[in-house]
Structure 1
């Protein structure tokens, strides 16, 4: 079994038994990395991922970064052309983290990757720990979340005010939704493709960091097996965070709406969709 905290939130779909789908070197996985002004971080994270898991494929989804991140991604892809592990998807505008991930998911699903991963480009998520998520997936998880807030999880060089906001947001979401996930806002996670095919990505409205809560909540409600594994989250050394007041406001409002809707459904006032 994978090491970590079993945060199973519902029964596995009938007949779906644990089947190893990712190789020890990452074969079978597509790592989706959205970028906006990450030209200095991107080469570092690509090198680390390819060294840690040489069989994994990487899709860089660049939102027309004015600093030339897209061009750097293209250069890296050309250098890796023979191996064919690095791909680049250029988008014409910056319209939110969620939209970038949805574009990456659609690209990966169209190419039949059995596991699709979310990972930041800024080095806050360690590619060297990605195997922990894959171990959970191979042990039967449908969604494996790299968690900062389970035993063994760590925060490195993160400002105390950011930690306070993060822990508060997770507590709020957990109470509002009744989801037994300690780090529902985490952006380091691996999905079996069947999850993404079932949870209705076409109807996802959230654009910012609320997207993480949205997809985890959809996965919970669909009855999939969600597990958390401990990871080390490290504050970025280069560049600036994309977090903003608008992002936080979106998350607060949408989580409240989802929580109220869920309670009304349980009371029979609304029909469960």
Structure 2
């Protein structure tokens, strides 16, 4: 790795992703050869963790963190952040195992970390898109992000997006370990914290492709959690602003 390049850790949470884990890591290392990978497996009964262990034995860039039960996306990322920060990585990336986040687009996100604390791979900025999504799913995502912008006053088009890169100083500053949210609400929470802490948040366009293999982890409970938490946060934020306690929120959008 170049002495001028930050140490990058790509965190990939898994639960029953045996069909996807090896291809996604191969694509990642074809796109960013110097990146390290941490597979955070929640005790997958299909043997995903064992496959990841074999990959790690053959490649020093691959690491595996085994958890004993399925505890949710947020808890998996918190464990991954803990591991990565303790190991000294300077940029920590969130990436799905199912191929919906194209590793070929990761260099674009990493490049933007040179001038931003948090970089979000965005479906809903000019140049972003989704592939093979049903209309209902697209409307749900667009609606959730519109509601988030209105409730919280954040200028982020894709606050629910889960393909993102954090500089370590952001994670160290925002108290990520106290986040109780799950699903895409976890992503909203971290972006909201980064903005309130004064870090620049940049969105770069990505193409998001629906998974081809395995089962989606999306559920109605995830949607309901996000709605109620964002509503609560928005009410608290407006109350603080009314009392003159609200801070400024900064965000910049990458020009690609």
TM-score interval w.r.t. the shorter chain? Answer: over 0.9
Q: Aligned-pair distance for 1:245?
A: 0.5
Cα RMSD of the aligned pairs, angstroms, is 1.8
Distance 1:24 1:49 in 2: 21
Pairing partner for 2:12 from 33, 41, 64: 33
Distance 1:44 1:27 in 2: 25
Instruction: Report what 2:251 is aligned to.
Output: none
Q: Aligned-pair distance for 1:114?
A: 0.6
- For the structure 1 residues 171 and 260, does the alpha-carbon distance in structure 2 shift closer, same or farther, using more than 3 Å as the test? same
Q: Aligned-pair distance for 1:157?
A: 1.0
SS at match of 2:89: coil
Write out aligned runs for 1:5-84 (5 A): 28-80=7-59, 84=60
Instruction: Report what 1:100 is aligned to.
Output: 76
- For the structure 1 residues 241 and 46, does the alpha-carbon distance in structure 2 shift closer, same or farther, using more than 3 Å as the test? same
Q: Aligned-pair distance for 1:209?
A: 2.0
SS at match of 1:34: strand
Distance 1:89 1:23 in 2: 27
SS at match of 1:209: helix
SS at match of 1:32: strand
Distance 1:25 1:119 in 2: 24
Name the TM-score, length of structure 1 as normaliser. Answer: 0.87
Instruction: Report what 1:136 is aligned to.
Output: 112
- For the structure 1 residues 23 and 169, does the alpha-carbon distance in structure 2 shift closer, same or farther, using more than 3 Å as the test? farther
Is the CA contact 2:119–2:202 (under 8 Å) kept in the aligned structure 1? yes
Is the CA contact 1:25–1:54 (under 8 Å) kept in the aligned structure 2? no
Q: Aligned-pair distance for 1:207?
A: 2.2
Write out aligned runs for 1:105-254 (5 A): 105-138=81-114, 140-254=115-229
Determine which structure has greater relative contact order: mean sequence separation of CA pairs < 8 Å that are 6+ residues apart, divided by chain length. Answer: 1
Kindly provide the CA deviation profile for residues 189-245 of structure 1, in whole angstroms up to 9, marking residues without a partner as x.
000000000001232111222100000000010010000000110110001110001
Kindly provide the CA deviation profile for residues 127-150 of structure 1, in whole angstroms up to 9, marking residues without a partner as x.
010011111112x11101000011
Large movers: runs of 4+ above 3 Å: 22-27, 269-272
Distance 1:31 1:24 in 2: 19
5+ long unaligned stretches in structure 2: 248-256
Q: Aligned-pair distance for 1:268?
A: 1.5
Name the TM-score, length of structure 2 as normaliser. Answer: 0.93
Count of residue pairs brought into register by the alignment: 247
Instruction: Report what 1:8 is aligned to.
Output: none
Is the CA contact 2:6–2:90 (under 8 Å) kept in the aligned structure 1? no
SS at match of 1:55: coil
Instruction: Report what 1:16 is aligned to.
Output: none
- For the structure 1 residues 163 and 74, does the alpha-carbon distance in structure 2 shift closer, same or farther, using more than 3 Å as the test? same
SS at match of 2:71: coil
Instruction: Report what 2:254 is aligned to.
Output: none
- Structure 1 range deviating more: 204-213 or 58-67: 204-213
SS at match of 2:113: helix
Instruction: Report what 2:252 is aligned to.
Output: none
Kindly provide the CA deviation profile for residues 152-176 of structure 1, in whole angstroms up to 9, marking residues without a partner as x.
1111111111111111111011110
